[in-house]
Amino acid sequence: MTWLFKTNIPVDVRLSFVRALYGNRETLWFGLAAHMLACMVIYFKTGDIVFVIFSGLFALTTSIRMYDMHVFDRADFSRLTHDKINRWEMHYLLGACAICLILGLLCFYSTYVIDDPFAELASLSILLASVVSIVGRNYASRNAVVMMSVCALVPVLFGFILVDSIYHVIIGALLVPYFLSNIQMANGLRQSLFAAVMNERRLSTVVSRFDTALNNMPQGLVMLDGRASIAVVNKQVRDMLNISQNISLLNRPFEVVLRYCSKHGLFPRDELDNVRMRIDELLEGRRQRDVFHFGNNRYIEVMCNQRREEGAVLIFDDVTGRIEAEAQIQHMARYDGLTGLPNRFYFETLVRALTAGNKPDDLVALAVIDLNHFKHVNDSYGHHTGDELLRQFAERLGQLDAERFVASRFGGDEFVLFIQGIKDRSHINTVMDEVTAYLSGVYEFASQQIYLDISAGVAVDIMKNVDLRGLHVNADLALYEAKSSEHDRWVAFVEAMDTKYRSRQKLKNDLREAINAGSLTVVYQPIVSLNSLRIVAVEALSLWHHPKFGPIGPADYIPLAEEMGIITELTQFMLNRACQDCAGWGHKIGVSVNLSAIDLKNSGIVDMVVDALQKAQLPSYLLEVEVTESAIISDRVKTCEMLQRLKNSGINIALDDFGTGYSSLSYLNTLPLTKVKVDRSFVRDIVTDRRAFMLLRGVTQLSHELGFGVTIEGVETEEQLKLIRGTGGADLVQGFLLGAPLSADEISAQLGRSLSVMSNNHAEAVQADELPS
Ligand code: C2E
Ligand code: CA
Ligand code: CA
């Protein structure tokens, strides 16, 4: 039977068709009543009991159909299949066709079997009346309409034909087009129904997709109609505005939503007018977007798209993350991460804001504050404590009166303090004394206390001249003075500092030129054997003949070159020159070159030394480099590594100025040294002070016993030399007595000659009892 229901109509659409068949049951009851009444009337008219049977058949069939319909109502259509639908359509068809067949048979019986004119008229009338309802009730099923028509028509036609009257045949023939046109009508109705159902189906698909899209978009959306009432609203808007899903928003003016929000604390009530006004501005197109800060600490951006007279679409976006990130970025851009103080950029803005109301002649000041020995705190207590100290220090700074002070951390341990409200130039003294006393002193930590001392430089000026950068430069110069002063915690800037600074800058430029041009003079101070008093080596010393200031000693310009970062150029120049000159002395004596602490931090120093030796073709044992204790202390691991590499190349390493630095004897043992140069301060008083002599002797013997060669520096008098000869352990001596620094040529001339400083008598060792008392 499935051929009967062959269809490509979607199953859910078919269900709605079948539901149409099963619906509208009143007409069935009405039909049953009409059919039974007609049968009974014909029975009373004709007295033929068969019509009562027809009446019973109608009642029975309709009852069965009604029961079937009752079952249909309870059927489960959740899992729809065409088979299931087919079954129900078949049930319906059987019932409906049975009624039509009974009607047809009623006519056949009246026309042909009893041939009673009233029965014929009545049954044909009731049949035609019923046929009309075939279309009305059953247009949804093509099968039902056709088969019911056939079931009703065929017995009637048979009856008409069998009566054997041409008139009946003609009238019967007319019934055919009538039935056909009924079928046609039903088809038309069905197609309309189909189109309507399909449209509804499409619409519901679109609606459900729209709904899904609307409730799954990240933003909230409110669509307003032309009267600014809500036509569409999604879940997200409710979430953002804290409106429960149970509250119906559709068709309500948007203004009501705003009132609801203010009532429920999303924003304060007195903000309502302001919020309303801003929303109106959006709706009127005067603004594209606006960000609202709601009480639940969320930032909601609202954008509006106009739809002309049709209203507007409001898009709600939760931009809390973005706003907070922006705020954090802004905070990071303005404040120092460690201490929370304003950074240098924001500091200027704050100072400008604070001084906006000042008069042109008001005095203001800028102080630069430096934590003394902060590096030492870091080194001894660790960076964590260092950071904590900076934080606590910043906290104290932050406690200063904000009406008068703006504090800032410029980086490292450099803090800047802007000061206003200075009554006169002497008042700054009081202010600085108080502030520096407040900032220095004991800082408490969980497990220890740290005493912090600070240095500060301050520059004062009147408001109309103030240029923060200029003030800062001046305060920095004053700080430089404070740092080098032993007594003053803070120093105020005076013009002379600037002059000094400028000439220092000028000197730096000149030095750079001198080093670049290789115009420094190199002199060599003899290093003499204590036994033979012959020159065995020389120390290369640089000397700068300034075109304007005359000779400037290395003690003055070496620190400058180090500060400028050009010391390595100077070292390279000295190494090259010393190696060349030494090679010119026929490999008879060695040469010593001083290295700076900075050189030893530079991995290139080893190559530089080896390169100088190669260029001069000088054997490495003739070169010695001198390093000071401070150079070793500053970065012991790195320095040690460099020295070891130099020693591996066969170069001698002397520890210069021994005894003047930190004098930690322990490292003597661990460093790759070949020689110790005992500083001249050990020699100065040996003639007059027995303890000084014993100290020199101790140091010398200790160094000697550790396996180092020993040079004693700064020997100026014959008495000193005589005593030194008695110490034991020293190999070499150096000092003005044995020779001041000379040019390379002068050294050449001296070679081979024994020094004339002492007669043989003098060269005798001093006995212990001759020692000074
Ligand atoms: P230093 O390495 O201890 O060099 C010896 C210094 O002591 C020289 O001073 C020398 O003239 C001086 N001197 C020598 N004998 C005596 C003496 O008997 N009594 C006294 N009072 N002084 C004596 P100078 O040339 O002024 O050098 C000072 C320092 O400058 C040197 O001390 C050295 O550390 C540094 N220096 C000199 N030239 C260079 C260089 O080319 N490179 C580096 N990095 N430093 C250098
Ligand atoms: Ca030296
Ligand atoms: Ca020295």
- Please tell me the number of the ligand nearest to residue 541's CA: 1
Tell me the pLDDT tens digit for each residue of 451-497: 999 999 999 999 988 899 999 999 999 999 999 888 899 999 999 99
Order of strands across the sheet that contains 230-233: 230-233, 220-224, 312-318, 298-306, 289-294
What separation in Å is there between the alpha carbon of 345 and the centre of ligand 1?
45
Structure tokens at 162: 């069998």
Please give the number of the atom of ligand 1 that sits closest to the Cα of 628: 34
CB 695 within 8 A of CB 675: no
Name the residue of 558, 655, 676, 757 whose CB sits within 8 Å of the most ligand 1 atoms, as the mutation to test its pocket.
Answer: 558
Band of the pLDDT at 25, cuts 50, 70, 90? confident
pLDDT of amino acid 633: 75
Tell me the pLDDT tens digit for each residue of 322-354: 999 998 999 999 999 999 999 989 999 999 998
Per-residue pLDDT for 57 more than 50? yes
Per-residue pLDDT for 764 more than 50? no
Please give the number of the atom of ligand 1 that sits closest to the Cα of 595: 44
Distances (CA, A) of 166 to 112, 163, 170, 242, 477: 14, 9, 6, 84, 138
Determine which residue's CA is closest to atom 25 belonging to ligand 1.
541
Instruction: Please report the domains of the chain, with CATH numbers, ordered by start residue.
Output: 2-200 (no CATH), 220-324 (3.30.450.20), 343-493 (3.30.70.270), 506-765 (3.20.20.450)
Determine which residue's CA is closest to atom 4 belonging to ligand 1.
541
pLDDT of amino acid 660: 83
Please give the number of the atom of ligand 1 that sits closest to the Cα of 599: 44
Q: Which residues contact 767 (CB under 8 A, 6 or more apart)?
A: 726
Tell me the pLDDT tens digit for each residue of 498-513: 998 998 899 999 999 9
Please give the number of the atom of ligand 1 that sits closest to the Cα of 657: 3
% the chain with pLDDT above 90: 59
Mean of pLDDT values over 125-143 = 82
- Please tell me the number of the ligand nearest to residue 592's CA: 2
Name the residue of 543, 569, 594 whose CB sits within 8 Å of the most ligand 1 atoms, as the mutation to test its pocket.
Answer: 594
pTM for this entry: 0.54
Per-residue pLDDT for 765 more than 50? no
CB 453 within 8 A of CB 489: yes
| Pairwise CA distance, residues 452 & 316, whole Å | 55
Token pair 């509006």 in the structure block, residue: 304
% the chain with pLDDT above 70: 95
Q: Which residues contact 333 (CB under 8 A, 6 or more apart)?
A: 343, 345, 346
User: Ligand 1 pocket, 553 CB below 6 A?
Assistant: yes
More confident residue, 192 or 405: 405
Mean of pLDDT values over 629-642 = 82
User: Ligand 1 pocket, 526 CB below 6 A?
Assistant: no
What separation in Å is there between the alpha carbon of 539 and the centre of ligand 2?
7
Please give the number of the atom of ligand 1 that sits closest to the Cα of 679: 3
CA terminus-to-terminus distance, the chain: 142
What separation in Å is there between the alpha carbon of 617 and the centre of ligand 2?
23
pLDDT of amino acid 163: 85
User: Ligand 1 pocket, 659 CB below 6 A?
Assistant: no
User: Ligand 1 pocket, 542 CB below 6 A?
Assistant: yes
* Pair type for strands 454-462 and 490-492: parallel
Residues in the chain: 773
Determine which residue's CA is closest to atom 33 belonging to ligand 1.
594
What separation in Å is there between the alpha carbon of 596 and the centre of ligand 2?
10
Tell me the pLDDT tens digit for each residue of 263-318: 988 888 888 999 999 999 998 889 889 999 988 789 999 999 887 677 899 999 99
Determine which residue's CA is closest to atom 46 belonging to ligand 1.
594
| Pairwise CA distance, residues 598 & 295, whole Å | 60
Helix/strand/coil (H/E/C) assignment for every residue in 567-585 = HHHHHHHHHHHHHHHHHHC
Please give the number of the atom of ligand 1 that sits closest to the Cα of 523: 25
Determine which residue's CA is closest to atom 23 belonging to ligand 1.
714
Determine which residue's CA is closest to atom 42 belonging to ligand 1.
594
Average pLDDT, the chain: 89
Q: Which residues of 746-768 are buried (b: 16+ CB within 10 A; e: fewer)?
A: ebbebeeeebebbeeeebeebee
Burial of residue 569 (number of CB atoms within 10 Å: 0-12, 13-18, 19+): middle
Torsion (CA) 363, 366, 372, 377 in degrees, nearest 10: 130
Mean of pLDDT values over 378-405 = 93
pLDDT of amino acid 14: 79
- Please tell me the number of the ligand nearest to residue 595's CA: 1
CB 714 within 8 A of CB 733: no
Per-residue pLDDT for 663 more than 80? no
Per-residue pLDDT for 716 more than 80? yes
Tell me the pLDDT tens digit for each residue of 569-598: 999 999 999 999 999 999 999 999 999 999
